[in-house]
Amino acid sequence: MRFAHDALPEIAEHELDTTETFLGARVALPFFISCMTGGSEGGFKANRLLATAAQELRIPVGLGSIRVLLENPALFPHFHVKPLAPDVPVLANISAVQVRDGDIPTLMSLVQRLEVQAIVVHLNAGQELFQPEGDRDFRGLKQAIARLCEQSPLPVIVKETGFGIVPSLVRELLRAGAAYVDLAGAGGTNWITVESYRLPREARAAAAEFADWGVPTAVLLAACRTGRDRVLASGGVRSGMDAAKAVAMGAALAGMALPAIRAVTAGGAEGVVKTFRRLEKTLRTVMLLTGSRTTADLRRGTVWLEPALAASVESFERAEGLRPG
């Protein structure tokens, strides 16, 4: 993907407006910190630091899965990070299997006590299949998500965890009532590879065959013809340029998991703030050099696809029945 450079942008740098409205809140940048961690001491600390950084940056932040919290209510203070991020959307996270198998009123009362602004349902069949103790039955998940969307007083966001959600499923999930769908496509963290690290040596060979699994985020985003304003782009977003391209392609926000956990591990909340400030600098420069005063302007056809990506998108669209064969 490349940007169309505007050699004569009729804009002053101070006029640039990078803000977005997300879940009723005004956020400073079209970026978010993807759902991560929880369940371990290190994870709890990271959640608090990520929330602190998100508040300073004025960007949304996701929490790790609250599964452990459902099993152990004493962990509540570790997940209750809203007081650290009062001005930005904080997102709770749970797996679709848990939504199917759990009790929705119990789940809803818990997330309301967490004072979060949305509940994020994650899809991770690939990862589960490589966890010795993982789920094996994925029937009835669409129905469970639709039921949650119907019953939840909070907006529901559905995300993958690094293998992507194809356009037909994006449409289905939005139609079922999801407020947003986070593509979380391939190109970044691969959870089958991650799981393989704790598998016995002989089981790793099968996992290695999935090192390249999933649909790249860029292809998914390009193939998503409608509703991109309700699509979040994540999975492999590693730089300000990646994030700017995702937004220019029409995503509501661009999200990052691994870069945020690396930054928090190395430098705490301050490290995360620094990382995102670097991304902001790139975004602002891209906006100016494409003559985009606002992120809405950036979305008005400032990117074009290199032939290799265009061919990949075209071929994917044919396979998906989005284009005549």
Ligand X SMILES: Cc1cc2nc3c(=O)[nH]c(=O)nc-3n(C[C@H](O)[C@H](O)[C@H](O)COP(=O)(O)O)c2cc1C
What does the alpha-carbon distance between residue 50 and residue 33 come to, in Å, rounded to a whole number? 8
Q: Which is nearer to ligand X, 159 or 228 (CB)?
A: 159
For ligand X, how many residues bind (rule: CB under 6 A)?
A: 23
Question: Is residue 162 at the binding interface for ligand X, with CB under 6 A as the rule?
Answer: yes
Contact 171, 227 (CB under 8 A): yes
Instruction: Verify binding: residue 261, ligand X, rule CB under 6 A.
Output: yes
| Rounded (10°) angle between helices 258-289 and 240-248 | 60
Give the C-alpha separation, 30 to 228, whole Å: 14
Q: What is the DSSP string of 205-266?
A: HHHHTTTT-S-BHHHHHHH--S-GGGEEEESS--SHHHHHHHHHTT-SEEEESHHHHHHHHH
Q: Report how far residue 49's alpha carbon sits from residue 141's, in angstroms, rounded to the nearest whole number.
A: 32
Window of 5-13, 28-36, 105-113, 203-211 that interacts with ligand X by CB under 6 A:
28-36
Task: Indicate the residue among 236 and 291 with the shorter CB distance to ligand X.
Answer: 236
127 near ligand X (CB under 6 A): no
Give me the least distance between CB of 123 and ligand X, in Å please.
8
**234 part of the interface to ligand X, by CB under 6 A:** yes
DSSP 8-state symbol, 1: -
Nearer to ligand X by Cβ, of 245 and 292: the residue is: 245
Q: Is 54 in the site for ligand X (CB under 6 A)?
A: no
Applying CB under 6 A, the span of 36-44, 244-252, 267-275, 282-290 interacting with ligand X comes to 36-44
Residue 37 in the binding site for ligand X (CB under 6 A): yes
By CB under 6 A, the residues from 60 to 119 that bind ligand X are: 64-65, 93
Tokens matching residue 63: 């929490």
Rounded CA separation 112/319 (Å): 41
**Interaction between residue 188 and ligand X (CB under 6 A):** yes
- DSSP-assigned states of every residue in 168-201: HHHHHHHHTT-SEEE---BSS--HHHHHHTTS-H
**Stretch touching ligand X by CB under 6 A, among 19-27, 128-136, 257-265, 301-309:** 257-265
Q: Out of 16, 184, 215, 219, point to the residue binding ligand X (CB under 6 A).
A: 184
Which residues, 283 to 322, sit near ligand X by CB under 6 A?
Answer: none
Residues that bind ligand X (CB under 6 A): 34-38, 64-65, 93, 122, 159, 161-162, 184, 188-189, 234-237, 256-258, 261
